[in-house]
Each structure stands twice: as C-alpha cells, then as structure tokens.
Amino acid sequence: MSHDTHIEIKEEKYIVTDGNKKWSYGLMIAGIILTVIGYFTYHPSVEGMNLSAEDLHHLVSKRFWANLLVDSYFTFIIATCAIIFVVISKLSNASWYVAIRRIPEAMSTYMVIGAGLLLAVIVINFYVLHGGIYHWAHPGVMETDPLLMKKTWYLSKPFLLIRLVLFTAFWIYCAAKIRKNSQNEDLIGGIENFEKNFRISATFLVVFGFTFSMMAWDLMMSIDAHWYSTIFTIYNFATGWVSALTVIYLIVWYLRGNGYLKIATDEHQHDLGKFMFAFSVFWTYMWVAQFLLIWYANIPEEVVYYRERMFGSYSFNFYINIVLNFIVPFFLFMMRDAKRNRTMGFIVGGAILVGHWNDCLLMVMPGAMDLPTTISEHNPMGSIDIPNQGIGFMEIGMITFFAGLFLTVVMKALTKANLYPTRHPYIYESALHDVGV
C-alpha cells in the first residue's frame, strides 16, 4: 500500500467545544437524575417472604453501592489498562502506536478519580454500612463461618484498605511519570525521556502483574468469599484490556472525524481493530476456561457461583454476555474492511463496552444482592439470595454518569499536550505505518 512520504509533523492541540461540554455534562446530569429516580422507585420483593422495612432499606442501599462499585471498578480498570497499553508497547519497542499514544495517556488521568471512588466505596461499606455488599466484612461472620475462618489472615478490612491505597497510588504515580516524560519529549527531544519511560515501564509492568491480581481478589472475588477461581485475575484483566483498546479505537475515530490527529491513518485504526477482535476471543477463552474448570470439579461452594448466574434470574445477563463480548465482535469485526469502517467500528465498540460493563455487573450483583441470615445445614452460605430486579434506572443512570465523568476528564487531559509526540524517535515510522494487507 502506498503512502505519501511527505509527513508534516506539527503541534496539534485539541480544543474542547461547547458541544463536547454539553454532551459530557449532559450525561452526568442525566445520570444523576436517573440514579435518584431508580433509588426511590426500587421496591424489591421476594415471593413467599415477608421482608421487614429494615431488610428492604438494606436492599435498596446494597443495590446503590453495588452499582457504584461496578461502575467505579469498570472505568478505573479501563483507565489503568490504557496506560498498560502504552507500557507494553514501549517495552516491546513498538513504533506504530506512537501517533496515538497521547490518547491512552490522557485516559490514564482518570485513575486518580477512579481510585478515590473505589476507596470511598470500600470505606463506606466496611465502616458505615457494617460490611455492606461484602458479606465477609459483616460483624461476627468471619468468626462463625468455618470456611471463611481459614481466610482471616487475608480478608482483613485494614489490610485490604492498605493494599488498595498502596497499589493504586503506585500505579497512578507510574502513569503520571510516564505521561510527564512523554510530554517532556516535545520540549527537549532526544532520547533521555524515551529511556526514562522504558525503565519506569519495566518496573511498573512487573509490579502491576502481582498487585492487580490482589486488587481483583479484594474488590470483586471477595464479594463471593466462599468461591474462588485460579484464573480470575487474567479474566478481569481481559475485561479491562479489551475495553481500554475499544475506547482508544473510538476516540481515534472521533478525533480523526473532527479534523484532528491527521498523522493517524486507517492503518492505525486497523491495528486497534485487530487488537479488539483478538482480545475479544482471548476474553472468551478465559471465560470458557474458568467455567469448565469449575463445572468439571463440581465442588458445591464453587458451582454455586455459576448456578446463580446461569439458572437464576441473572440468566439473561449471563447469556447476553457471550453475545456482546464474543459473537458480535467475532462475526462483525472479522473482515478487514469492518475494522476500517467508522460506522461498523462504533457498532462493535459500543457492543463491547456494554458487554464488559455487563460482565462486571455479573461479577458483583448476584453476590452483593443478598440478605445475611443464620448459617445452617440448609443454608451453608449464610445469606438469602434476592432475585435480579433487572437493569433499571439506577443501573442506566449510574453508568451514564460515569461515562460523562470519564469523557470530561479525558477531554480535558487531551488539551494539556500535543495530540501526538512531535519529537519522539519513532514518530515518522509511526506516521508511515502500514499493516501490509
């Protein structure tokens, strides 16, 4: 494929328009309104059970905090995996991504807000709601549950909070240093900042591999504290990774469609699309692997995780997960031209983002939406499962708010630097990128 070899490298700054602000602020305002409506119109009911007013209040509160955890976690891992995309590309000495690297760098600035929201959710659930959506954190549970007694050394509220603060603080620090060094390249050129980022990336990636594992266990897997999966970490990473790639892909399309990022071409769009396609298949592989391992073992405390999701009131969410996260990208994004088509890209990208949000919802809701009760021979889990009340105003409202918040932060971050690194050693190579097909 031929290219114009005359490449003009120049400063190109993004300007947030009034239309951008209306959309992002409008999403946040609409999200708040829908969330409030959903909170006050949610009237849970369990057939054949007489729930007290206190139980009903707990369920409304649980649904609110469970949704807040879902959306905080989902947007946070998107921002985190965005900078991991830069880190991995850097360590692999890739050049093609340089023209679009400022987008994932801008996305990483949301990590501060995301980490703060996650910390607030955990602190309030632990110390204000006396455990809240985390059953193991309820007073007296760890002392009376035979299975959880074996996990007391790890499932400790202060220990978990310390881990969360240290892990996210280190990630945010590394992301900020990488972004600062990248911007310094525009000022002084040379390879000094280029080499600094290589060293930071190497350290960051090694530490991230271990710490992300523990954060996924702490925030998501411990909601179903009797259950565990040996591949839960990579499953969570796959969700965040493909979602981050999708957001990068969509933002590149948006910028190019509005006259920005002229250095990026359909070749870059194609490679991002290939990543989306490939890692949708990878996510599916991890999903099937986790399911098969638990199905084959047939251990009661393990199988209950899928029983609630496959055969209960969450079955629609369970099966639509496969449709949105595998079937849609696999069949619609397989062809070369589809990855280079703006309309098809937004259709598939939208399906992937909704699908992986639903994936996070499935990780949280069935375990969070229950009422604690006495552990007995007939109820070894020590809780009453509450049927899924569907995706209502609260779910739609909260993710709408987070979408607006995420876009606001990213758009503001994009204005702080040139849209691509003008003095990066690989910038011309990236501008001439050709996938060869």
pLDDT along the chain (437 residues), means of 10: 63 90 95 95 66 69 93 98 97 93 97 97 93 90 88 92 97 96 84 89 96 95 90 96 98 95 93 96 95 83 85 88 96 94 96 97 88 46 56 94 97 94 89 80
For residues 276 and 249, the answer to whether their CB atoms sit within 8 Å is yes
244-269 burial string, b = 16+ CB within 10 Å, else e?
bbbbbbbbbbebbeeebbbbbbbbbb
How many Å apart are CA 133 and CA 405, to the nearest integer? 24
Domain boundaries along the sequence of the chain: 18-427
3-class SS string, 145-201: CHHHHCCCCCCCHHHHHHHHHHHHHHHHHHHHHHHHHHHHHHHHCCCHHHHHHHHHH
The sign of the CA dihedral 268, 269, 273, 276 is positive
The conformation of residue 325, written as its DSSP 8-state character, comes to: I
Rounded to two decimals, the pTM is 0.92
Residue 262 token pair: 């002229």
How many Å apart are CA 398 and CA 240, to the nearest integer? 19
